[in-house]
Amino acid sequence: MLPMPNRRPTIRDVAKHAGVSKSLVSLVLSDPSKVSSLRRSRVEDSIRELGYQPNLAARSLVAENRHAIGVVLGELHNPWVLEVAEVVREQLQAAGFDVLFSAAAIHDGQGIGTAELQALRDLRVSGILVVGSADDAASFESALGETPAVFVGSGREPQANTAVASIDDEQGFGLVIDHLVSGGNGQITHVSGGSGPVAALREAAYHRAMQRHGLREQVQVVEAGPSLQAGYEAVAQLLASGKRPQALACFNDLCAFGAMQALDEAGISAAVTGYDNISLSSLGRISLTSVDSDSQDLGRGSARLLLHLMRNPEGKFARQIKILPRLIVRASSEVPPRSL
């Protein structure tokens, strides 16, 4: 028996140990049914003895039958992305696929770009699923090629071989404004999510909901961003200017956490709502009223949509699903409104 190499064993080590060619080892790994039982057993014994672990990415580059799906994660600071991704992983693995994760570097709130999609396509994955905001100005056709893709919570519209799974933000922000108005709040300030496509959709929904309640003159938008720090800084600056809103309807939960911190430091009370209903929002010390985008339903639905798109790339079926949200009311929005 050959001595175990100090470094991580490679496919060449397995071939040498088994006394076969490297291409035969590759065939055992990719399509064992094409190798005789005797030679296959010899290779498998060497794999076990050496402790060889196949590189899934490298195998994807040469495999004729692709059994991997790439998942791109944007906004890693936001637990909502990870909650959705975990459901997606469970669904895709249950369908027999390996899952390759890629983290996207997002700049200036513009969302996931083409680089991450190109990298996964080069690995010859069977499909790509993107969780988080995607650059609404970018064309992904060249990056994706023929690879089917589903964008989850991105703010994009379905195109060519892509599909979209999203939240009905029109209903979501409508629920927020209805709730705040019913509590006696007329001066409702929207703390925005920045310049991304999802932020634009939610801000537009805020405007329409305010107009529906006859509060067009009370519309106020504070430019912030999708992070806790952005929410904190935006609301701190608003309060420093002397303005005292009755209520803050924030872009997401993290932004709302920052807004609540700024209010606490200033000793000012105002109703606050978030969006996404991440697990931290239910903690008693936070108790944030939030729009529940149902990460479980969204994750399951987006995984099913991708599998359907992969099996029927030319099929005529709905390329977009929208999850209907619900409002989870907690203590943060139960602050009695002040007189104006």
pLDDT tens digit string along 215-272? Answer: 999 999 999 999 999 999 999 999 999 999 999 999 999 999 999 999 999 999 999 9
Per-residue model confidence as pLDDT tens digits over 186-214: 999 999 999 888 899 999 999 999 999 99
Query: Are residues 193 and 286 both part of a single domain?
Result: yes
Residue 284, in any domain of the structure: yes
DSSP conformation letters of 169-219: HHHHHHHHHHHHHHTT---EEEE---SSHHHHHHHHHHHHHHHHTT-GGG-
Query: Are residues 210 and 176 both part of a single domain?
Result: yes
Model confidence band, residue 133 (pLDDT cutoffs 50, 70, 90): confident
The DSSP bridge partners found for residue 70 are 100, 128
- Percentage, residues of the chain above pLDDT 90: 61
Nearest to 189 by CA among 216, 231, 169, 219: 219
Query: Are residues 176 and 161 both part of a single domain?
Result: no
Containing H/E element for 99?
strand 98-103
- Lowest-confidence range among 58-62, 251-255, 288-292, 333-337? 58-62
Residue 340, in any domain of the structure: no
Euclidean distance between CA atoms 254 and 225, whole angstroms: 9
At 84, the amino acid letter reads V
Query: Are residues 109 and 20 both part of a single domain?
Result: no
Start-to-end CA distance of the chain, whole Å, equals 86
Euclidean distance between CA atoms 26 and 72, whole angstroms: 28
Domain count within the chain = 3
Give the sheet arrangement for strand 149-152, strand by strand: 98-103, 68-73, 127-131, 149-152, 162-167, 320-323
Please state, rounded to an integer, the average pLDDT across all residues of the chain: 88
Residue 145, in any domain of the structure: yes
Query: Are residues 200 and 279 both part of a single domain?
Result: yes
Confidence at residue 122, expressed as pLDDT on a 0 to 100 scale: 79
Query: Are residues 173 and 276 both part of a single domain?
Result: yes
- Average pLDDT for 71-87: 91
Confidence at residue 319, expressed as pLDDT on a 0 to 100 scale: 87
Residue 73, in any domain of the structure: yes
Query: CB of 234 within 8 A of CB of 222?
Result: yes
Confidence at residue 64, expressed as pLDDT on a 0 to 100 scale: 42
Confidence at residue 123, expressed as pLDDT on a 0 to 100 scale: 80
Query: Are residues 158 and 206 both part of a single domain?
Result: no
Query: Are residues 301 and 155 both part of a single domain?
Result: yes
- Average pLDDT for 70-86: 91
Query: CB of 4 within 8 A of CB of 11?
Result: no
At 3, the amino acid letter reads P
Residue 33, in any domain of the structure: yes
C-alpha angle 58-61-67 in degrees, rounded to nearest 5: 95
Query: CB of 17 within 8 A of CB of 4?
Result: no
Query: Are residues 244 and 309 both part of a single domain?
Result: no
Residue 262, in any domain of the structure: yes
**Winning range, highest mean pLDDT, from 12-21, 67-76, 79-88:** 79-88
Euclidean distance between CA atoms 321 and 314, whole angstroms: 18
Model confidence band, residue 171 (pLDDT cutoffs 50, 70, 90): very high
| pLDDT over threshold 70, residue 340 | no
Residue 218, in any domain of the structure: yes
Confidence at residue 177, expressed as pLDDT on a 0 to 100 scale: 98
Query: CB of 288 within 8 A of CB of 327?
Result: no
CATH number of the domain that residue 219 is part of: 3.40.50.2300
Residue 59, in any domain of the structure: no
Give the residue numbers spanning the domain of 40: 11-54
Model confidence band, residue 55 (pLDDT cutoffs 50, 70, 90): low
Query: CB of 270 within 8 A of CB of 249?
Result: no
The label of the residue with tokens 């609540």 reads 260
Task: Using alpha carbons, list the distances in angstroms from residue 155 to 16, 152, 320, 329.
Answer: 52, 8, 11, 25
Confidence at residue 28, expressed as pLDDT on a 0 to 100 scale: 84
